[in-house]
Structure 1
């Protein structure tokens, strides 16, 4: 396992930077003391209504009377009353004119007050928008806003007018004499909506680790995990090794995250407590990746799904920030770690608000909920790990045997079976080769009863959609202990599939297989088999970053070799394979043959009883091949060695038995001598003759000595004859006869014996004939069988002279451009991987914008908020709740107030009489009323602290309803608050879109590497070199690529930014700005694609597109940081230099100057010239990139370039 690459660390540090910037968007308020303050009375000049327009709708006779009475009150003296048609007209005017207030009547007793956002509090308590001032003693401090902004004056006046109109009794004295007191509070003001992006960034902070981990895990899982599992590796060991490694990285990154959030936001919390929260969340994210890697096949899909899970459930968890989520739902959603993590973060915000902070000391007290967050994150980590193990069992992928879904309920899974050689074996299973009859050689008597591997009617079918591939077709075979058995056959015959079945990498579709009486179909038996086999697959098996010796040690430990014996076993393998001289060399630096010997060594570790080798000597030099042969022959005693090979001489020399497989069927089994006898063993006489040779005379001469000789063929100067084996005694006489007939044109002659290769060709010829008869339509073979030599027609491979190029010059260039564009389009269309990457980036681009729109829509929909006492004060007969308290009454009347208590209780409010007469300290209740008597009527003082956001209007509503009920009315006055707020506000959208514009401009350079790096792929496959040799003009190649890549880049560019520009009033309303915008964006798309061409030309080691995407985004981010420093220095010429050095920054520079142009009123010519220069900068880059491409092509292809009609100039 290797350390995370630089790319991984840099990506994580970028998230730290983004998190710090998101913290900077939050308004900072220190923990402060809100002093006790008497606010005076409502009829005192706390609110000046002169010149303010009070609109109302609908305009009916009763609403007109109410508003007329309200305007005549002393609290609203000088206010202008205006009727409007409907609420939409009211909202339109309220958004355009600042000094306006709206009243929307639902009926005579229910209405909504609409104030400007700066004149009233946002009423939703969930946002906890706490008012504050830096200096409460200053005259400009208008806290509480409900008092000084006129909300209470309008509310009390309308309530008094409604009561008078409905009861014919005036309560003006009581209402206008209401006084207010702002109670002392010590807390930290906050507005929860400010923390949204900070929370989202914190939730996403581990996404880089998740992405890179998914790439590494799935790469190792595909290459090595199945093999290591077959060698005895436990699944839990594999996943725990990755978990332990990344736990260290997560711990380091969690320390950095914790230090950052403590510095920026959590000022009073302790480092260890917050660190543990981040660490447990990071660990849960890592285990979530494990679960996804067990479910999904590709790293891109796993990382994409992981990102979506984190983002979606992280966004859902924002509901905890605003609303109280039911506990069952909270625990259920907490099964997704982002939701559980965010509930803890929100609780820390609450603790920070009161200056308590989060630490282990208060974990079981104020921070008790965070203890449950710890438990939930630990539970999530364990759950994800168990699910990873479970899915790994039932969905092993291409290689591996899937377990049944309820495998853990079977006793055989938990208890290993004992070896039982006395198990009864069916007759067919004991002697499966009897089905082939004479095509199988009987084994010597000493091997009877030593059947180590029994295969009976093994079938393996691969299905993909409507296609079916039969790799094995009812194969039956016995393999004996003490023998070396070779599997022979053409490519795709089923040799590797058979070895995969025996090694446990694949499961047969039908049939049974046993190894030493252990059944491969039983899960418990398979675990026993793992301990006795050694596997060398077709591909090389090693950890690239480890040395040869370290690889052998690692696999020795995986196989379960005792620690004290590992070193000795490794040294033995090094010496046996003669690789001691490279034991300290990293595996990635080995040659192909050295890697192959290492794979053989890994298979032989631990002296396995069964060796399964798939083409073990492929790629080895002759000396190494003979060394391996000798080693296997020395090791054959007491063990089973089964190998496949394409070399007939290897099988002839090494194997005791050879099994020929063709098209999934076993054709014959036996020794070399048996096979050669069975399939036409003889000697081949080849005679080299001159033109004067007489064929008939020479044939008569050969048959004169050997009558059974047959003529087998001839070429121009060679004759071939087959000589039967039984006539070997006549060979000396034949040779003397040939030597004495040199006058017949015999130049020389030679004799050779039939080889296994001749047997193979004959068997394959018969198999091809049979296959033509048996082929079923719709059935596909994995690999085609090799054709006979006679089928090859050399003449068909020759180029025809009629195809000479007749088109030259510009017509040829246009033809080549068209062809390359067509090829590029088809490649891009068929490249699912690239299209998926583009789609993923597209989603990442648009997700924040979509989230912002959803949040704003939700905010607007929650704007109308009922000012109900039920949200603050405990209903009658109910138990106390965290959010509600009783209504505290201070009786200063000197008399009994039972009548008022009854009036309050009739509103379903629990009342409590205060024991103290005065209060100046912090109030634990949500609100209180101080009562006086004057002229036989009550006078009220409203006491509130700012944490109860709507306390003042709620208590005024309580007073109004008490007065209304005291006049024998059963009605109830209801009030809503709905500030003027609209998503259609152009200024708001200009601000929001400018923020997202910067975000998208930073990320867009990451798009082109995913579709414009075709040159690198063409170089890897050799297509570019072949095209160059074929006479393709370099300029035609690049133009053909650009005809597809540039339009695609521009489509992506315009589609992503078009939505934002359409919403920006400054752009959509100006034709000149729109023209410059389109021109600049088109040039930027061209320059980006050409830049990628230059990069791909010079990165022939084929760095992947993800890496270049990341690099370009980082370059753009660095250029933005540098430009912000330069901009503060006021040196625009430096920005031009920066744009020239960093082409990815040119569009950002254009929008920077465009913003300056917007802000200059009237538009200045200097700003306009800056914009024009920025617009045409990408075209200058494009011209420069074309010249650089020409220079590079000139360096690598002068001959072709001289004929190029474009690049030769």
Structure 2
């Protein structure tokens, strides 16, 4: 027996107990941990394998800069080999050094002939060409114009396109630059080789009018490569619109699926000249940015915007200086480059998707662990044995954080060791901060989401759907939003320089910012932040940024992400870190709040955190509950023993102190009606007082309310009205303190299947503040008392126990640590007679110094163990007292049984009536009759004499006289109460 003077366990003692239990539990799940850790290892190895395949393909001679032998010896062996652009094909040229990049004429992005704008039903403007031009391929390329001054806008319109265009054979590229050239081809990532001149698509010359024969071939030489480019004329058409909103509407309806018919009716772009006049030039430009080469990986492709800016600038310049004035836009070209190998880092390209799965893999692990404790009611079981919310949250959170940190550390270290660039190139301190913040957010989110599930299987399925769904949605949806936003940022930093240079040449030219981009950037950027509020997308964005920086670093031979890069406007890592930190704190607080209100047994009130500010009740807080009107009628219908118990409770509540362990004061529980059913009165005003050292037995039919009463007493549910005091503490407000001196043997065994019987008792013993040798001794005594000590049973996992062994272990758990109050809900269910008898002896010894409430369906068990009994029917206490009193009070009759031939049944009945005039026949079949004889009407000697006399008259095969059993009392009281409730 443990020392009862130890007092409740401190928070650190409880934390130590839970930590030891968690470590033991973790030790038993080695195989699960190996499977978990193997997932990122296998994924990393798969990336390495893919990387090797890609490297071999890229490092083949077909992809390296071309080489040729320029001098051979007499044997035909090459003595001198030279490599360079002139010896390469178009694929090999990308890796060659280019000291003097080629110059390309600036181009407009034109719609294909079959998509150019024409009159349609969904566009109301009639100044567009007829749809018949599409059959001949002669549809013009259209610009839209608007502004405050239409006449000035029309002047600008006439100045944009030249009437004729000719090619100077000595300077073909210069000739192309002097005209307005366009292409329907997509751009590439660089301008070393312009895609417009290396495709089967023609290059178009935009003119005000086109001659009948408007197609020609232009010879172009690039280094040693000669090719011919087809050049076609296309009419440029400028159309006026009254407002920017009309332009927006027409552009939207014409682009791809922006109209109800799903037709394509594209326009090159649009100009809004705003308040431009002779003294100032302000213009907003619309352009189609979707033609950039954006495959989802790597840098964003170029966009053909500079020529559109140049057209507007030249039109205004000619308005000021005359038609002969022109600001020549000669060419665009790339920066020179050295020899570069084709390098494609697979981990950087696929890291955002693959590694999102790796990190998110922890979420189902944490979630299912929390839901398992909830489903098996292990959390409330620990709480009922004294584990406070503070230690539980501290240790559980730290435990999951440690597991997650070890998992992520192994992941990063292994990825670095095998050489994945996404780890080796980016600053490890940024990676540490990012992963640390996210796993904290993920754990907090798991605690919050766990409140929504009560089934481990359901939680696991939903969690894994979220894991793989987040990765796929991130790769196929979220990433494209991010990349669409990154282009305008690039435009600001690079292409805007060109605009500034043009403005500096024209002193009075003050180009406005491109308002379409600004609006788009704000809207898309805002929506991206909203999307990043979902933790999975925040994780994906961070991994995407790591991948982009490592890809660029590997390609250019520089470092990846550093802390200074977080200030870059194009870097989304800073906003991701801020979002995750804020969400971590908010989600953690919300999760704790929800846990307190919903998940902690009966739960607390929504404003539980304000309780500390409320006025504390005076020391004489016990007062009898005020019963509703009509309670006098209810009391009058109660049996005298129940009324006496109620009066005893009221008297105890008026005393300033009492030594009673349990006092129930008019305790009621009403379950609200659902699905059209009326409300259910489970407990109807129960009043009960139990002193220490008493075992009180609750008897009653199924559905009588016994379990509801126990649930209120152990904190699983809250009473509808009334209350109860345990060791002087109110179950409504002080359950956390009550738990420290309470033991529970639930109706169903709540055990960890992977922990042994000894480990269960060690854990719960520590929660009861047992330490050292006292703990070891208490555990051994408990195991011996329930016959689980010998034969290695104590060290066998509970999942391998039989039902009876689990039941005995549950009883041992409820009694360890000397709890002052113990609740046992049908403790002997499923036990064989020998084990049941042994268990009874354990309970008898445990009664000393503690109050025990026991529910059972065994009348024999109730007589052997219980000092007092209460029969519970339809939620109310029908009678109360010790077994002898109940049998005397409600069973005041003998049961007389006699078996004869059927012909003598009447003679037997006459004999019984002669013995006891008020006898009641309760059974009759085939000569066997059973009678109840009132004790005050009959003497036992008279019964024996009457039977001897009867034997002389007729054959008596069997007879018996028995006192009333507890079972008879139970049946009589239950039937009487149920019949009364039916009548009422």
Q: TM-score range by the shorter chain?
A: 0.5 to 0.7
From the superposition, tell whether residues 631 and 491 of structure 1 become closer, same or farther in structure 2 (CA, over 3 Å).
same
Distance in 2, matches of 1:80 and 1:733, equals 130
Distance of aligned partners of 1:82 and 1:434 in 2 relative to their CA distance in 1, 3 Å threshold: closer
**Stretch moving more, 656-665 or 646-655:** 646-655
Change (3 A) 1:247 1:54: farther
Structure 2 CA distance for partners of 1:603 and 1:44, relative to 1, 3 Å: closer
The DSSP-based 3-state class of the residue aligned with 1:531 is helix
Partners of 1:416 and 1:528 within 8 A in 2:
no
Q: Report the alpha carbon displacement of residue 343 of structure 1 after superposing the two structures with TM.
A: 4.9
Q: Secondary structure at the match of 2:420?
A: helix
Q: Following the alignment from structure 2 to structure 1, what is the Cα–Cα distance between the partners of residues 954 and 290?
A: 120
Aligned-residue Cα RMSD (Å) equals 5.2
Corresponding residue for 2:141?
57
3-state SS in 1 of match to 2:775: helix
Q: Find the counterpart in structure 1 of residue 604 from structure 2.
A: 403
**Equivalent position to 1:389, from 589, 592, 604:** 592
CA deviations over 1:1127-1151 (Å, ceiling 9, x no partner): xxxxxxxxxxxxxxxxxxxxxxxxx
Aligned with 1:616: secondary structure? coil
Is residue 597–residue 603 contact of structure 2 (8 Å, CA) maintained in 1? yes
- 2:661 aligned counterpart, secondary structure: strand
- The offset of 1:376, in angstroms, is 6.0
* Map of 2:706 onto structure 1: 495
Distance 1:507 1:88 in 2: 60
Match of 1:738 in 2: 948
Matching of residues 1020-1035 of structure 1 within 5 Å: none
Please tell me whether the aligned partners of residues 318 and 325 of structure 2 are also in contact (alpha carbons under 8 angstroms): yes
Q: Does structure 2 retain, via aligned residues, the 8 Å contact 1:659–1:668? A: yes
- C-alpha contact 1:657 1:672 (8 A) present in aligned 2: yes
Tell me, yes or no, if structure 1 residue 526 matches structure 2 residue 735: yes
> 1:666 and 2:881 equivalent?
no
Question: Which residue of structure 1 aligns with residue 499 of structure 2?
Answer: none
Q: Secondary structure at the match of 1:545?
A: coil
Give the one of 222, 247, 250 matched to 2:375: 222
Q: CA deviation at 1:529?
A: 0.9
Deviation at 1:164, TM superposition (A): 4.9
- CA distance in 2: counterparts of 1:115 and 1:366, whole angstroms: 22
Q: Distance in 1 between matches of 2:161 and 2:625?
A: 104
Higher mean C-alpha deviation, range 597-606 or range 716-725: 716-725
Corresponding residue for residue 724 of structure 1: 934
Deviations 1:258-283 (A, max 9, x none): 34486154442255653553354234
Q: Which secondary structure does the structure 1 equivalent of 2:546 belong to?
A: helix
Is 2:860 the counterpart of 1:649? yes
Q: Does 1:767 align with 2:970?
A: no
Whether the aligned pair in 2 keeps the contact of 1:12 and 1:205 (CA below 8 Å) is no
Q: Are 1:440 and 2:642 an aligned pair?
A: yes
In structure 1, the partner of 2:798 is 587
Q: Tell me: CA distance 1:636–1:43, structure 2 relative to 1, closer, same or farther (3 Å).
A: closer
The aligned counterpart of 1:269 is: 426
The answer to whether residue 352 in structure 2 is matched with residue 199 in structure 1 is yes
* 2:864 is equivalent to residue 694 of structure 1: no
Corresponding residue of 2:132: none
Please name the residue that 1:71 is paired with. 165
Cα separation, partners in 2 of 1:177 and 1:320, compared to 1, 3 Å: closer
Aligned-pair CA distance for 1:727 = 5.5
Distance in 1 (CA, whole Å) between partners of 2:391 and 2:535 is: 23
Match of 1:286 among 437, 443, 460: 443
Structure 2 CA distance, aligned partners of 1:187 and 1:320?
A: 28
Q: Distance in 2 between matches of 1:377 and 1:115?
A: 31
Partner Cα distance (1:70, 1:192) in 2: 49
- C-alpha deviation, 1:402, in angstroms: 1.9
Cα offsets for 1:580-628 (capped at 9, x unmatched): 1221121111111111010000000111111111111111112222222
User: Structure 1 pair 72/257, CA: closer, same or farther in 2 (3 Å)?
Assistant: farther
The answer (yes or no) to whether the contact 1:84–1:90 under 8 Å persists in 2 is no
CA distance in 2 between partners of 1:458 and 1:311 (Å): 50
Aligned mate of 2:718, from 507, 511, 515: 507
**Does the CA-based 8 Å contact 1:711-1:720 persist in structure 2?**
yes
Shift of 1:536: 0.8
User: SS in structure 2 opposite 1:232?
Assistant: coil
Q: Which moved more, 1:765-774 or 1:304-313?
A: 304-313
Q: Distance in 1 between the 2:803 and 2:330 partners?
A: 96
Superposed CA deviations along residues 702-757 of structure 1, whole A, max 9, x for unmatched, are 44455554443311031212233235644366257437615502112112211121
Q: 1:116 to 1:83 in 2, by over 3 A?
A: farther
Match of 2:323 in 1: 169
Out of 559, 575, 583, the residue aligned to residue 768 of structure 2 is 559
- SS where residue 687 of structure 2 aligns? strand
Relative to 1, partners in 2 of residues 1:197 and 1:364: Cα closer, same or farther, differing over 3 Å? closer
Deviation of 1:407 (Å) = 1.5
Correspondence list, 1:891-906, <5 A: none
After superposition, where does 1:830-869 map in structure 2 within 5 Å?
none
Deviation at 1:130, TM superposition (A): 5.9
Shift of 1:494: 0.4
Unaligned stretches of 5+ residues in structure 2: 1-24, 60-93, 114-136, 145-153, 169-174, 180-215, 217-230, 240-250, 257-265, 274-282, 490-520, 653-657
Superposition pairs of residues 288-303 of structure 1, within 5 angstroms: 288-299=445-456, 302=459
Count of paired positions: 732
Q: Provide, for residues 1105-1133 of structure 1, a one-character-per-residue CA deviation record: whole Å limited to 9, x for no partner.
A: xxxxxxxxxxxxxxxxxxxxxxxxxxxxx
Matches within 5 A, 1:461-472: 461-463=670-672, 464-467=674-677, 468-472=679-683
2:967 corresponding residue in structure 1: 757
Q: Distance in 2 between matches of 1:318 and 1:91?
A: 19
Counterpart CA distance in 1 for 2:878 and 2:349 is 70
Report the Cα offset of residue 401 of structure 1. 2.0
Could you tell me how far apart the structure 2 residues matched to 1:358 and 1:123 are? Answer: 22
How has the CA–CA distance of structure 1 residues 416 and 209 changed in structure 2, closer, same or farther, with 3 Å as cutoff?
Answer: farther
CA distance in 2, matches of 1:44, 1:339: 38
Matches within 5 A, 1:723-1122: 723-726=933-936, 729-731=939-941, 734-735=944-945, 737-738=947-948, 741-774=951-984
Change (3 A) 1:179 1:241: closer
Q: Normalising to structure 2: TM-score of the pair?
A: 0.63
Q: What is the distance in 2 between the residues matched to 1:475 and 1:605? A: 29
State whether structure 2 residue 306 is matched by structure 1 residue 129.
Answer: no
Q: Distance in 2 between matches of 1:213 and 1:256?
A: 18
Distance 1:742 1:208 in 2: 89
| Contact persistence 1:37–1:181 (CA under 8 A) | no
Aligned to 1:614: 825
1:1146-1198 per-position Cα deviation (integer Å, ceiling 9, x unaligned): xxxxxxxxxxxxxxxxxxxxxxxxxxxxxxxxxxxxxxxxxxxxxxxxxxxxx
Cα 1:556–1:357, aligned 2, differ >3 Å: closer, same or farther?
A: farther
Distance 1:195 1:319, change over 3 A: farther
What secondary structure is seen at the aligned counterpart in 2 of 1:583? Answer: helix
CA distance in 1, matches of 2:949, 2:964: 24
In 2 relative to 1, CA 123–193 (structure 1 residues): closer, same or farther, beyond 3 Å?
Answer: farther
Q: Alpha-carbon deviations, 1:842-892, whole Å to 9, x = none? A: xxxxxxxxxxxxxxxxxxxxxxxxxxxxxxxxxxxxxxxxxxxxxxxxxxx
The 3-state SS of whatever aligns with 1:758 is helix
Instruction: For 2:142 and 2:562, locate their aligned partners in 1 and report how far apart those are by CA, in whole Å.
Output: 58
Could you state the TM-score of these two structures normalised by the residue count of structure 1?
0.52
Conserved 8 A contact 2:667-2:721: yes
Secondary structure of 1:238's match? helix
1:611/1:178 CA distance change after superposition, 3 Å: closer
**1:151–1:40 CA distance, 2 compared to 1 (3 A):** farther
**How far is 1:155 from its partner?**
8.0
The 1:404–1:193 alpha-carbon spacing in structure 2 relative to 1, beyond 3 Å, is: farther
Shift in alpha-carbon separation, 1:231–1:333, aligned structure 2, 3 A? farther
Q: Which residue of 2 aligns with 1:989?
A: none
In the alignment, what sits opposite 2:693? 482
SS at match of 2:451: helix
